[in-house]
Structure 1
Amino acid sequence: MALTFADDLTARHRLPKQERDERRATMTEVPATMRQLRSLVTAEGELRLSVDTVDTPKPAAGLVLVRVEAAPVNPSDLGLLLAMADVSKAVASGSEDAPVVTAPISASVMSALTARIGKSMSVGNEGTGVVVAAGPSPDAESLLGRTVGFVGGASYGEYCLASPQMCLPLPDGASASDGASSFVNPLTALGMVETMRNEGHTGLVHTAAASNLGQMLNRICQADDVPLVNIVRRPEQAQILRDLGARYVCDSSEPTFEADLVAALRDAKATLAFDAVGGGQLVSQILNAMEAAIVPDDAPYSRYGSDVHKQVYVYGALDRRPIELHRRFGFAWGVGGWLLTPFLARTDAADLARLRQRVADELTTTFASHYTDQISLHQALDVQTLQRYARQATGEKFLLEPQR
C-alpha cells in the first residue's frame, strides 16, 4: 500500500469552498527563492554542507507548500545530512550569508556512498509550519492557513512541499515546537508496540532508552500496561527514566548489568528488543539474558536451548562497529533491521488512522518532545554547533528554525 495517513484525518479538517477562497486571499505572497540546507558528497571523499538560495517550489495538484517554522534534528536526519563524515575535522568556509562546512569521509565509508557522489541533496524528514499555498484539490486547499506537522523530506529549508495525507493539522493552542516532531518519534514508538503485538510478544526491551523517543515509549507502555525493560549507558540516564516512573531500568555501565538484565527480563517476560546502538556486544548480551530469563535454574540441559523465540531489531547505529554475537541463546532467535517507513507501508489504513489519531490526541502529553537548543539554518553550519548535535547526546535535542 502507499505510505499515506488515513483520508479521514484530512477530511475532518476539510473546509467549504467559500472559506478556502477566503483563506487563499489572505495568504502572503510566497517569495520566488528561499534558503535551504544542502548536503553533497564529492568524488574526492569530502562532505560539503551549505545554505543555498534555491527556487521556492510550487505545489502541483494534490500538494501543499508549507512555510517551515521548526524541524527537529533526528538521528535519521543526521545519516543523510552528515554522510558518516568525520565532523571532528570539519572546517568552515564560505561567507556569512552563504556558509559552507566541509569534512572528510573515510574510504571505507565512501564505498557505500557511490550513488550520492556529486548530488546535492535536501535534508529533513519532518517539521511543522503554516500551509501558504496549495495545488488544486479539496484536500490540499482545505489546509490553507492551517499550522500542520508534516513529512516532506526537505524540511531544513524555509519552504517545503508535502502531501495533505502526510500532514497533521495541529490542535488549537499547539505551538510549532509541539508539532515539529509529530511523525518520526511518535510513530516509531507506537510502531514498536504494534510490532510486539503483531508478532505475539508480550514485553519489550529498548536501548538508549533515555532519549526523547525512549521517554515517549515509556509513557506509551505505562498507559498500555506493556512491560518495558529500559537499557541505558549512564547513571544519570537511569535516573531520568526512574523519575518518569519506569519500572525496569538497567545501566550497562554497572558491574551487575547482566544479572540486572536477566532479573528484569524474567519479571517482564520480554522477548522482543529494539536496539538503537547497533554495534558491539549489546545485542548478544540481550539475547543471552533473554535465554537465561526463560530457562529455569533447574531445567535439564539442552544443547539447542529453549524453543521460545527471542528477537532483536536494530533500528539505529549509535555504535558503528560490527555486531558481535557470543551465542549462549540456543537456536530460537533472530536479529534483523527495523525502520519506520517499511512498517507504515505494511500497516493497513485503519490501523494507521488509529495511530495517527492517537498522536493528534496526545501531542502535548504522551508525544511531547523537549528541545535544549533552537538554531537557525546558518547556526546549523557553525562547526561547534554541528559537532554538538552530531554527538546525539542524551538530554540534548536540537530544533532547527529555518525562518530565523
Structure 2
Amino acid sequence: MARLSTDMNDFVTMLLPGLSRSLGEQFNIFRVMHHGTHEKQLSNIFAWLLATDATHKLGDAFQRAFLARVNGQLRDDAQLPPSGYRVIQEVNTLGGEDIAGETGMDIADIVLSRSDAAVVIENYGTSDGHGHDYQRYLAHGATDGRATAVVLLCHRHEAHLQRDGWEQASIVTYADVLSDLQAHVERDGSWCRQHPDQLFFIRQMVQYFVKGPAAVDVDDQVSFIKAICETGESARYGYRPRDRVTREFAELVAEHARRQFEDSRTTLATVKDGLRRFARSVLVEQVNGAVNKGRIEKVVTKLVGQWEWCVELQRADAQPAIYLEFGPTAAVKNERVADPIHDPDYSRVFVSLRDEERGGTSRMVQTEVRLAEVIGGLSREDGRLRDAVLSLEV
C-alpha cells in the first residue's frame, strides 16, 4: 500500500532536530580560513597535489589518480601517459598569431606538460568554460604534436553549462579525484604514520569538498535509525541498488521538507493576521480599560526579517512598546533577553517589553495562548493576552 504523504511529513518532523545538529557547522581549516572560495586558491592546492616533488610526499600518486580520471573519458587511441608531467600555473594559451594581433590573454589555470603529452586544465566551481576558448586551450596543449586533453576541473558537473566546444572537455570533479586520493592514502599506513600533518590536510580537504556537513555523532545516527523504524521506513535499508535508494530517499525527504517549510510560512502569516485582528478589535480595548497610563495607541505589523512574526503595540505617555511575538521572532528574542525563559514552548504566543534605555528587550513572558487557538479565533472574553500584557507593568 502506498505510504501517505502525512507519514513522510511526520518522519521529516521527527528527524529535523537530529539533522539540525548533524548539519551544524563543524571545525574545518578551510572554513576557518575562508579558503577555497576562489578558483585561484583551489588551483594552488590542486597544483601542489599534482606536483610530484611537492611537500605532500605522495610522489605522483595524485597525478596518476587525476590522469586515470581523464583517460577514463578518452578513446583508447587517445590515452595519455599516466604520469611524468611538469606542473605549470597561469599559462597564457594564446598562439603567435593571437599575440601578433594583440588579442587579450586567455589564461589556463593549470597545465600538465611533458614532451609528448599535455593536459590543459580550467578550474572553476561548475563545469563551465566561463568565457575561455576551448579550441585555443586544445591547440596550446597540442603544440609540437603532443597528445593532449582539455579538462574542466570543477566542484559540480552541470552539463548544460558546457557549450562553445567545452562539451568536448573531460570532466574531473573535486569529489571524484579527492576520493581517489583519500582511498590511496588510507591504504598506505606507512605514509600516514610518517606524514600526519599532510594526512590531516588531505582529510580536511575531503571533508570540505567531498563530504560536506557530515552526521558524525553516534547519538544522532541512532536517532536517525530510530526515526526510520518508528515511521515505517525501515524497509528502505534492504533496497538495492544502494546509491539509487539513497538518492531517491534524499529527494523524497527534501520534497516533503520543502512543502512543510512553505506551509509553515503560510501558517505563520495566518497567526500574525489573527493576532493583529484580535489586538485591534479586542486587546486594545481590554488593556486600555485597565490602565491609566501607557494606553495602546496603535497596532503595527511593519517589522520584517527575523522580527517579522510579531505585532507591536505602540503606547502613549512615552511608555515602551509591547510586542506579541511567536515562532521565529520569539526564539530570537528569548536568546537575547537578559532573563530568558527556560524550556520555552514555541507553539504558544509570547509577550515582551522593549528596553528603551539599552534597546532590545527588557522582559519577556510566555502566555497560555496557543498558535492553533489564534488561527481558530480567540473569543472576545479571552483575557489571557491582556493579563500577560499587564503583567509586564508589574
| TM-score normalised by structure 2 residue count | 0.25
Instruction: Give the number of the structure whose residues are more often strand, by fraction.
Output: 1
Instruction: Give the number of the structure whose residues are more often helix, by fraction.
Output: 2
Larger CA Rg, structure 1 vs 2:
2
Greater RCO between the two (CA within 8 Å, min separation 6)? Answer: 1
